[in-house]
Amino acid sequence: MNEPTTRKYPILVENALSRTVYLKLLLLINFNNWAFYFVLVVLAFLTVLVHHFGDYGFLFFFVLGVFGFYVIVVITSILYTVFSSQNRLFFLPTKYTFSEEGIEEVSQVAHCTVKWDAFIKWKYVADHYLLYLNILNAAVIPRSKIPDHQISAFEELLRSKLKKKQRYQLSITLVVT
């Protein structure tokens, strides 16, 4: 008898992203992309080539160098992103309101409304929805913070509003409080 309301919108989500969760998400994203697999394919090709010619010393230093360089660059950039004091606002408690018009974000330092046209894509990674404003910046919404009865409506909203677009317009209204 006490069933939750079937109202679709607005969908309210309150979240405070932790550095640990953000670190895990960045590691998953950076080691599960085309650049990582490209490096692995090149290293596999070089392994076969070196095995054919028999110069294993070259292989060891080249593999260690290329793969090591990639890992060091990725890990350094991730650690800088997660622990930089310039990104401290990213970890503040934030209240998101999802509607047909866009997303309203309210935190201790800002209140803004972002229209759906400003987003370029969304991904679902490790029980988190990532809504990208550009290739680097995303709003992170944990699935666990979305009311159970609104998850399907939330995913439907993402699918309908974040389709492939020819062009993207940035439509952000920012009111600092």
Instruction: Give the per-residue pLDDT at 33.
Output: 78
Which are the contacts of 55, defined by CB distance < 8 A and separation ≥ 6?
none
Domains of the chain: 11-16+91-175 (2.30.29), 25-85 (no CATH)
C-alpha angle 70/72/57, rounded to 5°?
65
Please state the pTM of the whole predicted model: 0.73
pLDDT confidence tier of residue 149, bands split at 50, 70 and 90: very high
Mean pLDDT calculated for residue range 33-57:
78
Closest CA to 36 of 80, 75, 62: 75
pLDDT confidence tier of residue 80, bands split at 50, 70 and 90: confident
Instruction: Give the per-residue pLDDT at 157.
Output: 93
pLDDT confidence tier of residue 4, bands split at 50, 70 and 90: low
